[in-house]
Amino acid sequence: MKHYTGILLVVICSFLGTAAQILFKLSSNTAVTEKHSLIDTLMNPVLIAGFIAYGLSFLILTIALKEDDLSTLYPFIGLTYVWVSIISPLFFPSDTYSVLRFAGVAAIVAGVSFIGYGGKAGKQN
């Protein structure tokens, strides 16, 4: 189990990164108008929640990097693309699913699986 601590932490980072991106997009629909000043825009609670998610993700990534090689852990951040691709159309009706998008999702999932396997194999040698 200890073997996978770093990877699990980075998967959590990818969840938080996904939350941040969705929150940023949600805030951009309302925040950036000519009527609002820069201060109003930055004080938008949804935007602030997005920044907090990124901050947490940063801290957890740092903790994770103590557990394993960077070349094993960093690629797992790529899972953010997978979660965003799946979740985004649920929040934004103009964002749709497509065969191409699922092919991309499948390739990334296969890619991180290879990395996880390669990282483990590398440790045992």
Partner 1 sequence: MSPEFLSLDTEGKLGSKTELWAIGLVILSTLIGAVGPIMLKVGVHEIKMSFINIIKHPKIIFGAFMMVVSAGVYIMALKGGELSVLYPYASLSYLWVTLISKFYLKEEINKQKIMGIALIILGIVLIGLSNK
Among 38, 93, 100, 124, the residue binding partner 1 under the rule CB under 8 A is 100
Among 18, 44, 53, 81, the residue binding partner 1 under the rule CB under 8 A is 81
Q: At closest approach, how far in Å is the CB of 72 from partner 1? A: 7
Residue 117 in contact with partner 1, rule: CB under 8 A: yes
Binding window for partner 1 (CB under 8 A); candidates: 1-9, 41-49, 78-86:
78-86
Backbone Cα Rg of the chain: 17
Residue 30 in contact with partner 1, rule: CB under 8 A: no
Q: Measuring CA to CA, which residue among 52, 108, 50, 107 is closest to residue 76?
A: 108
Residue 47 in contact with partner 1, rule: CB under 8 A: no
Tokens of 58: 């940063």
Q: At closest approach, how far in Å is the CB of 84 from partner 1? A: 9
For every residue of 18-76, DSSP letters joined together read HHHHHHHHHHHHHH--TTS-HHHHHT-HHHHHHHHHHHHHHHHHHHHHTTS-HHHHGGG
Sign of the four-CA dihedral 58, 42, 20, 72: negative
Residue 1 in contact with partner 1, rule: CB under 8 A: no
Residues that bind partner 1 (CB under 8 A): 28, 58-59, 61-63, 65-66, 69-72, 74-75, 78, 81, 85, 94, 98, 100-101, 103-119, 121-122, 125
